[in-house]
């Protein structure tokens, strides 16, 4: 049996992955397609690398086949390895950038998500609405938008002072004429007129008074 050194030549090529060869015979002519695949490379761009095509007689291919494919296979192998390294480097850079950005944000505002900060933002938002209404001259509406002291105990004095300042700007009829013309339901009845009445406890005139 004849001894071939085909595999010895293949092993001498420096590559990583799978070296696929397809041979098509057309009479005396042979067409050999050589494609290197590397499953370790996950970059989809590798699909665009074309196979290496060689044509010739069996004698011609035996004499020059490995010389023709050795360098292209080595370059393709190095390209696939570099593509994967580049992709991994990109992912690492993105992760590091995201972590650094988060770290910077947390350092700049350590109380960003704290309950105290959220409460302060809510108070500032409510008072901003009050400011806007006051600038428009809507003092009653602004007064109504001032939050209750019980909602923000630490701001109770500020809230009371703001309410007092706004109520001082009310026009006499801002709450409607009814407020000034009708007594409040909780107002105690006036007893001064009853003291001046000349009738006794049973509704009769005092005998000392003239009829």
- For 122-164, the pLDDT digits (tens) are 999 999 999 999 888 888 898 999 999 888 999 999 999 998 8
Give the count of alpha carbons within 13 A of 173, CB side only: 1
Contacts of 30 (CB under 8 A, 6+ apart): 23, 24, 55, 56, 57, 58, 61
Q: What is the model's pLDDT at position 72?
A: 94
Q: What is the model's pLDDT at position 5?
A: 86
Q: What is the model's pLDDT at position 2?
A: 57
Percent of the chain scoring above 70 in pLDDT = 74
Q: What is the model's pLDDT at position 20?
A: 94
**Positive or negative CA dihedral for 112, 118, 120, 124?**
positive
DSSP H helices, the chain, are 6-12, 58-108, 115-135, 139-145, 156-167, 177-181, 192-195
Alpha carbon distance 49, 69 (integer Å):
15
Q: What is the model's pLDDT at position 191?
A: 39
Q: What is the pLDDT of residues 19-50, one digit of tens each?
A: 999 999 999 999 999 999 999 999 888 999 99
The pTM of the full predicted model, rounded to 2 decimals, is: 0.44
Q: What is the model's pLDDT at position 30?
A: 96
| Cβ atoms of residues 25 and 32 within 8 Å | no
Lowest mean pLDDT segment, chosen from 55-59, 123-127, 188-192: 188-192
Instruction: Identify the residue with better confidence: 107 or 184.
Output: 107
Alpha carbon distance 111, 28 (integer Å):
80
Region class of 203: left (phi > 0), else alpha (psi between -120 and 50), else beta: left
Mean pLDDT across 187-211: 43
Categorize the per-residue pLDDT at 109 as very low, low, confident or very high, splitting at 50, 70 and 90: low
Alpha carbon distance 113, 110 (integer Å):
8
Q: What is the model's pLDDT at position 103?
A: 74
Lowest mean pLDDT segment, chosen from 106-110, 147-151, 191-195: 191-195
Tokens linked to 77? 């192998």
For the chain, the distance separating the N- and C-terminal CA atoms, rounded to the nearest angstrom, is 159
Instruction: Identify the residue with better confidence: 211 or 62.
Output: 62
Tallying the residues shown for the chain, one arrives at 211
* In the predicted structure, residue 51 carries a pLDDT above the cut 70: yes
* In the predicted structure, residue 199 carries a pLDDT above the cut 60: no
Radius of gyration of the chain (CA): 48
């Amino acid at each position: 049996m004849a001894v071939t050194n085909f595999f010895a030549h293949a092993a001498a090529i420096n590559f990583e992955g799978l070296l696929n060869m397809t041979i098509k015979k057309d009479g005396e002519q042979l067409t050999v397609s050589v494609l290197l695949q590397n499953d370790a490379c996950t970059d989809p761009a590798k699909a665009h690398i074309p196979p290496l095509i060689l044509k010739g007689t069996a004698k011609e291919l035996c004499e020059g086949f490995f010389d023709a494919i050795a360098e292209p296979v080595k370059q393709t192998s190095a390209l696939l390895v570099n593509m994967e390294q580049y992709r991994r480097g990109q992912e690492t850079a993105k992760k590091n950038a995201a972590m650094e950005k988060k770290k910077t944000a947390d350092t700049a505002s350590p109380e960003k998500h704290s309950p105290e900060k959220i409460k302060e933002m809510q108070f500032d938002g409510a008072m901003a609405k009050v400011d806007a209404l006051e600038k428009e001259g809507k003092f009653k509406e602004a007064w109504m938008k001032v939050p209750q002291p019980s909602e923000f105990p630490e701001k109770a004095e500020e809230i009371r002072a703001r309410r007092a300042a706004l109520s001082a700007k009310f026009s006499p009829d801002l709450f409607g004429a009814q407020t000034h013309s009708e007594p409040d339901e909780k107002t105690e009845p006036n007893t001064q007129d009853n003291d001046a009445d000349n009738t006794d406890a049973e509704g009769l005139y005092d005998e000392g008074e003239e009829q």
